[in-house]
């Protein structure tokens, strides 16, 4: 048993109104995050590198949720050749969130070679999925999702959980440091919004972590598969979508009145 990806398997064959409603809700969230993410690449105000990181964050998160949606809808079962299509970017999400906060608070920061170490796992995950996507079906079946696979498996889910909390902590340290050295009201507003972004993201991610660990622990110690419980499975994937919902809402607000509120030149 692996750390669950929270694909509500018992819902896939149950064509009730709740099943279709879940698909619609997830699809709406995917479209929203992708559209807002693309708009961040055209955002003229603020630090462009920070904008690019947040745009890439929303797109990466949206594509990862699309991966879950395709499994939930049974698309991979009907078209197995699409399995391992490179749209799964869990390991890039924490890094992009961290650099968005860091560069928005410290736009004068110059990226160094040492920053490349943060991209090792995200790039490795992308290369893994590209390689697997073009591999044979037999190879995918034998070497695809494995327990100790750092890019797609139990270890990957563990890395996603721990790295998300770790990068939230690192980003919060920059917020605290900036708060101690405020020079004007503009920086105060930026610190306020960055703090609010991280604070809500932390609470929502804690909810998702609860579902992931509950399923893992219950199976390992009591041989109970909580993913077979429809309500638990649906809430599990919605908890993941809830993180993206908050990031999308925050991003949409920044797009609407970011220049005015944050005085971005």
> Tell me: the pLDDT tens digits for 172-183?
999 999 988 877
**Quick one: pLDDT band at residue 265, thresholds 50, 70, 90?**
low
Burial 1-19 (b: 16+ CB within 10 A, else e): ebbbbbbbebbeeeeeeeb
Q: To which H or E segment does residue 218 belong?
A: helix 185-222
pLDDT tens-digit readout, 78-134: 998 999 999 999 999 999 999 999 999 999 999 999 999 999 999 999 999 999 999
Residue 193: Cβ within 10 Å count = 19
| CA–CA distance, 186 with 192 (Å, rounded to integer) | 10
Q: How high is the pLDDT of residue 146?
A: 83
Q: Are 255 and 40 in contact, with CB atoms under 8 Å apart?
A: yes
Residue 219: Cβ within 10 Å count = 16
Q: 9-262 domain in CATH 2.60.40?
A: no
- What's the whole-model pTM score? 0.91
Q: How far is CA 27 from CA 21, 23, 48, 160, in A?
A: 10, 6, 28, 23
pLDDT tens-digit readout, 126-169: 999 999 999 988 888 888 788 889 999 889 999 999 999 999 99
pLDDT tens-digit readout, 212-226: 898 878 877 776 677
Q: How high is the pLDDT of residue 7?
A: 45
Q: How high is the pLDDT of residue 9?
A: 46
Q: Where are the domains of the chain?
A: 9-262
**Quick one: pLDDT band at residue 4, thresholds 50, 70, 90?**
very low
Q: Are 3 and 218 in contact, with CB atoms under 8 Å apart?
A: no
| CA–CA distance, 258 with 58 (Å, rounded to integer) | 17
| CA–CA distance, 91 with 129 (Å, rounded to integer) | 13
């Amino acid at each position: 048993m692996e750390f669950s990806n929270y694909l509500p398997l018992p819902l896939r064959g149950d064509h009730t109104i709740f099943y279709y409603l879940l698909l619609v809700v997830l699809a709406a969230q995917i479209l929203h995050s992708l559209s807002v993410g693309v708009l961040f690449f055209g955002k003229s105000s603020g630090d462009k590198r920070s904008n690019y990181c947040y745009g890439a964050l929303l797109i990466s998160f949206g594509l990862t949720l699309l991966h879950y949606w395709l499994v939930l809808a049974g698309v991979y079962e009907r078209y197995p050749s699409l399995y391992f299509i490179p749209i799964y970017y869990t390991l890039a999400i924490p890094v992009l969130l961290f650099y968005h906060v860091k560069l928005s608070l410290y736009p004068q920061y110059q990226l160094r070679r040492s920053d490349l170490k943060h991209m090792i796992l995200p790039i490795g995950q992308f290369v893994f999925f590209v390689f697997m996507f073009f591999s044979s079906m037999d190879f995918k079946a034998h070497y695809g999702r494995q327990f100790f696979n750092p890019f797609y498996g139990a270890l990957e889910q563990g890395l996603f959980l721990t790295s998300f909390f770790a990068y939230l902590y690192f980003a919060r340290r920059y917020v605290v440091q900036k708060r101690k050295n405020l020079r004007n009201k503009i920086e105060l507003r930026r610190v306020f919004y960055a703090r609010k972004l991280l604070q809500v993201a932390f609470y929502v991610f804690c909810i998702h972590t609860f579902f992931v660990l509950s399923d893992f622990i219950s199976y390992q110690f009591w041989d109970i598969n909580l993913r077979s419980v429809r309500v638990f499975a649906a809430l599990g994937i919605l908890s993941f979508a809830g993180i993206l919902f908050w990031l999308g809402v925050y991003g949409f607000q920044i797009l609407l009145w970011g220049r005015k509120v944050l005085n971005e030149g």
